[in-house]
């Protein structure tokens, strides 16, 4: 046992080192649109008049996804997997951060990677659709949402993260889970 413990430490260090290297190549697919961050959406999506989507999101677990990687629960499960720091590990960040693994050039200044699973994780990177005229055009169907990178997410988007690769997978039912995060546009 005395011989075994130091050996175990070496093995753990090797695993931790290895996971950091894998992270460099574990890139998500690159689109052409850049990420702007939830702070940008906040400008217009905070008022009750429009439906306060930002406030609903801010109070949701998605907004806490990065911060929660520092919790004791997160650290305990990470340790079992040989991961040293969940907030630095690609194995956790790929689902707990927005646009994780993409090159820095895909993020506009002001993007905050500690804000967790942000609007753009589900709706698509926003640099080419966030302006008022574009948003109105999409809503009026004079601008094709797809062409500027905006989507109304379907179940497939959720399943990228809500799957058995997550150490805390509790199953996923699109209807119930969508209802829990509902933030519709308010009709005028």
Fill in the per-residue mask, 91 to 130: x = in contact with ligand HEC (CB under 6 A), - = not in contact. xx-xxx--------------------x-xxxxx--x---x
Fill in the per-residue mask, 32 to 71: x = in contact with ligand HEC (CB under 6 A), - = not in contact. ----x-x-xx-xxx-------xx--x---xx-xx--xx-x
The residues, any chain, with a CB within 8 Å of residue 116's CB and separated by 6 or more, are: 62, 63, 64, 65, 66, 67, 68, 96, 97, 98
Q: Is 168 in the site for ligand HEC (CB under 6 A)?
A: yes
End-to-end distance of the chain based on CA atoms, in angstroms?
A: 71
CB 158 within 8 A of CB 174: yes
The residues, any chain, with a CB within 8 Å of residue 56's CB and separated by 6 or more, are: 181, 182, 183
Nearest distance from C-beta of residue 1 to ligand HEC, angstroms: 28
Closest CA to 93 of 37, 45, 26, 40: 26
Please identify which residue in 106, 115, 135, 148 interacts with ligand HEC, judged by CB under 6 A.
135
Nearest distance from C-beta of residue 128 to ligand HEC, angstroms: 10
Q: Which is nearer to ligand HEC, 14 or 76 (CB)?
A: 76
* Residue 57 vs residues 63, 83, 109, 181: alpha-carbon distances, Å: 6, 29, 22, 7
Residues that bind ligand HEC (CB under 6 A): 36, 38, 40-41, 43-45, 53-54, 57, 61-62, 64-65, 68-69, 71, 73-74, 77-78, 81, 83, 86, 89, 91-92, 94-96, 117, 119-123, 126, 130, 132, 135-136, 138-139, 150, 152-153, 157-158, 160-163, 165-168, 170, 177-178, 180-181, 183-185
């Amino acid at each position: 046992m005395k011989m075994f413990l130091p050996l175990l430490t070496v093995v753990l260090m090797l695993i931790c080192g290895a996971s950091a290297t894998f992270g460099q190549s574990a890139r998500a697919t690159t689109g052409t649109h850049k990420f702007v961050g939830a702070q940008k959406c906040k400008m217009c999506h905070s008022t009750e008049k429009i439906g306060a989507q930002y406030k609903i999101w801010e109070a949701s677990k998605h907004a806490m996804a990065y911060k929660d990687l520092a919790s004791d629960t997160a650290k305990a499960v990470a340790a079992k997997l040989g991961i040293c720091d969940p907030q630095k590990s690609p194995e956790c960040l790929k689902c707990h951060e927005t646009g994780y693994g993409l090159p820095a050039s895909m993020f506009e200044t002001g993007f905050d990677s500690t804000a967790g699973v942000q609007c753009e994780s589900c709706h698509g990177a926003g640099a080419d659709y966030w302006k008022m005229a574009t948003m109105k055009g999409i809503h009026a169907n004079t601008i094709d949402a797809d062409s500027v990178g905006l989507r109304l997410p379907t179940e497939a988007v959720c399943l990228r993260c809500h799957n058995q690769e997550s150490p805390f997978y509790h199953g996923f039912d699109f209807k119930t889970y969508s209802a829990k995060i509902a933030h519709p546009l308010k009709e005028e």
